[in-house]
Amino acid sequence: MDRRQILTAGVSALGILTFLRAAGGALAGTFAVVKSEAAWRAQLGSAGYAVLRQHGTERPGSSPLNAEKRAGRFVCAGCDQPLFASSAKFESGTGWPSFTAPLVEAVGTTTDSSLGMSRTEVHCRRCGGHLGHVFDDGPKPTGQRYCMNGIALRFEPA
């Protein structure tokens, strides 16, 4: 094989994987909140749909929730599942809203092997919507950093 054939094969494989992931929408499985893809698109808009249902990522620093400091809770933009207490939010300097821990039974995780690395993906336990990723470089007491897409969340003041 020459370089052109290798590059073409690689791009084709990446395209197929992207298509299969997008075609599957959120995680395969049974969730309490299930809607058609058309209903999700209508509810979430194109940017929200791309993140919550197609595992996208918003641009860092683009979410108004980065500056949210009031008491309250952060809920799933797809189904209103309470996800994070405002007391768990911290400034990570990454450009995305970050939390030390989710509320009990609020989220699920899977392994995300996209982008040539292994990360822990975080999804809403009720609707399966993609929220972001969790990393082991957060502050005490948990040492975890739940790095969430702001567009996947909605803030409810206390």
To the query of whether residue 79 is one of the catalytic residues in this protein, the response is no
Which of 76, 79, 124, 147 is labelled catalytic? 147
Judge whether 81 and 103 are in contact, CB under 8 Å: no
Structure-token match 């009031």, residue found: 70
Judge whether 41 and 78 are in contact, CB under 8 Å: no
51: CB partners within 8 A, 6+ apart: 57, 58, 130, 149, 151, 152
Residues annotated as catalytic (active site), given as ranges: 147
